[in-house]
């Protein structure tokens, strides 16, 4: 099995169903992925150990997903200069707004690129990670261009169908 180029970390196994589309998207593009449960609060030593060795292990980008007081992406970013994409997980009493603020409002010097709450954000996290890997992978870049083209064609077709039905 090829060494993973992308890591997806989540703060709780309970987050997994909300992240499945991220995993599916990365798998569809054929890029090796590792998926792990680790928590900035509950297993801080594991987060640090994984993150500090990630680059040497061939990881090119880390996705860090957490809900509520979501510190995972920030803590990960504190321990690596790999690009870190934070995914605020929807849920809890505040529906993910707490996770969004916790993830996006990083102090200057420790960046986390943060996607939106919900389905679109989860998909964009996968695509953004793939686009980072594509900087050094021409075949992946071509697949991403094809994806964009087909996505646009689907919108044009939907518009044509709408016009025909009016
Ligand atoms: C966060 O707290 C996790 O990412 C999860 O979204 C939330 C609640 O975790 P559980 O209590 O469901 O394990 O750290």
Tokens read off for 62: 């880390």
The pLDDT assigned to 90 comes to 98
Confidence label for 135 from pLDDT (cuts 50, 70 and 90): very high
CA distance 126 to 66: 15
Backbone φ and ψ for 122, nearest 5 degrees, come out as -65, -40
Please compute the mean of the pLDDT values over residues 38-55 and round it to a whole number.
Answer: 98
CA distance 26 to 38: 20
Identify each DSSP E strand in the chain by its residue range: 6-10, 33-37, 61-67, 84-89, 113-114
Is 13's pLDDT higher than 90? yes
Please give the model's pTM, rounded to 2 decimal places. 0.97
- Verify whether ligand 1 is closer than 6 Å to residue 38 (CB atom): no
Q: How far is CA 33 from the centre of its chain?
A: 11
Cα-to-centroid distance, 13 and ligand 1 (Å): 8
Please compute the mean of the pLDDT values over residues 121-139 and round it to a whole number.
Answer: 98
Residue having the nearest C-alpha atom to atom 11 of ligand 1: 12
Tokens read off for 1: 């099995």
Helix (H) or strand (E) holding 73: helix 72-78
Residue linked to tokens 């060494």: 3
| pLDDT single digits (tens) 87-117 | 999 999 999 999 999 999 999 999 999 999 9
| 30 within 8 A of 85, measured Cβ to Cβ | no
- Verify whether ligand 1 is closer than 6 Å to residue 66 (CB atom): yes
Torsion of CA 146, 148, 154, 158, to 10 degrees: -160
Residue having the nearest C-alpha atom to atom 6 of ligand 1: 67
């Amino acid at each position: 099995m090829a060494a993973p180029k992308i890591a997806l970390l989540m703060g709780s196994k309970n987050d997994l169903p909300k992240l499945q589309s991220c995993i599916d998207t990365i798998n569809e593009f054929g890029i090796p992925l590792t998926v792990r449960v680790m928590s900035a609060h509950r297993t801080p030593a594991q987060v640090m150990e994984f993150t500090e060795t990630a680059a040497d292990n061939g990881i090119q980008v880390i996705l860090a997903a957490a809900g509520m007081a979501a510190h995972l992406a920030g803590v990960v970013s504190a321990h690596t200069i790999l690009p870190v994409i934070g995914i605020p997980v929807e849920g809890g009493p505040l529906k993910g707004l707490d996770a969004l603020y916790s993830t996006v409002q990083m102090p200057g010097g420790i960046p986390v690129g943060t996607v939106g709450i919900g389905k679109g954000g989860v998909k964009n996290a996968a695509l953004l990670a793939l686009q980072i890997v594509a900087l050094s992978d021409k075949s992946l870049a071509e697949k991403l261009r094809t994806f964009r083209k087909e996505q646009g064609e689907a919108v044009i077709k939907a518009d044509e169908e709408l016009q025909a039905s009016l």
